[in-house]
Structure formats: C-alpha cells, structure tokens
Amino acid sequence: MSLYDIIDADRRATFATNTGTWVHRDMGKIVLGTPSGDVGNPEYIAHIRHDHRLIPLFDTIARTEVPIAGRINGRFISRRIDRLRVFDDVRRVVFIDYKTDTDPEIMRHHYRTQLGEYATLLHEIYPDYTIDGYILWMHDWTLDHIVAMNEKP
C-alpha cells in the first residue's frame, strides 16, 4: 500500500466518522408535533414524514440516545440506542439505529449482531413485549427491519 493510499483511506475514514457524528447530532434534535410545530432539520423532517412508520419514532413521546446496558452470555454490554419508542397499548418496543454507510451489505452482519444485542437487552426490560429493531440508512432513507423478538422467545 502506498503512502497516497494510506492518506486517502485515512481521509475517507475521517469523513465517514464526521458524517456519522453530524447526522446523529441533527437526528437527535428532531421532534415532531410539539405545540410550536416540528423541531429540527426541515430536510430530515420531510423524509421522516414521507414514511409513516418513522413518524411515531420522532414524536414527543419517543426517546433519543437511550442508554442501555446488561450482560449477554456473561459479557457486559453498554450501548446507546439512537431512537426508541415504547407502545404500551400494544405491548411493543420499536427502535432504530441510524447508519451512514452507502453500501448496506459491507457491515450488515455486524449491524445485525449490534441490533440483536439491543433487542436482547430490551427484552430483559420488557419481557412481555414484542421488540422490533430497524436500521435507517441515511444515504437513501431506507428503513430496514433487522430484528424481531416476540414476547416469548
């Protein structure tokens, strides 16, 4: 690998990290349906309002950057869930994780494991609820259902 290749790879990694940081920051500020209207990036809000499945995840009840921790197979896991909504009326928890990758297949296995951990930890908190986890691919606003855990695994 040449010095040019190393520098180029470093620039791409830095760009990807910065993009992820900016997207998470902007997404965390979005709240739909406040008394004074929607709050946050208007372009992102338009995308969210375009997919009816996303709207409840950005209303005033939904939570953002939700810390979660616990043990899975004896290993301590501590994470943050990008967006989470608990629907007590139908005993369901829905969460999404934002991903800025432009090729979903490259890291799909890793992300499936990550969201599976989220679902397992959430199931400990909500044992009688269905848990559904999604990735929101930010490059094209595709909502990808990754994990489903029924109330009785």
pLDDT in tens, 69-103: 999 999 999 999 999 999 999 999 999 999 988 78
Describe the chain by its helix, strand, coil percentages, rounded to 5.
40, 35, 25
Model confidence at 153, in pLDDT bands (50, 70, 90)? very low
User: What mean pLDDT is predicted for residues 37-43?
Assistant: 96
What pLDDT does residue 102 have? 79
Cβ atoms of 133 and 115 closer than 8 Å:
yes
CA 132 to the chain's CA centroid: 11
pLDDT interval class at 11 (50, 70, 90): low
Residue 12: the pLDDT is 61
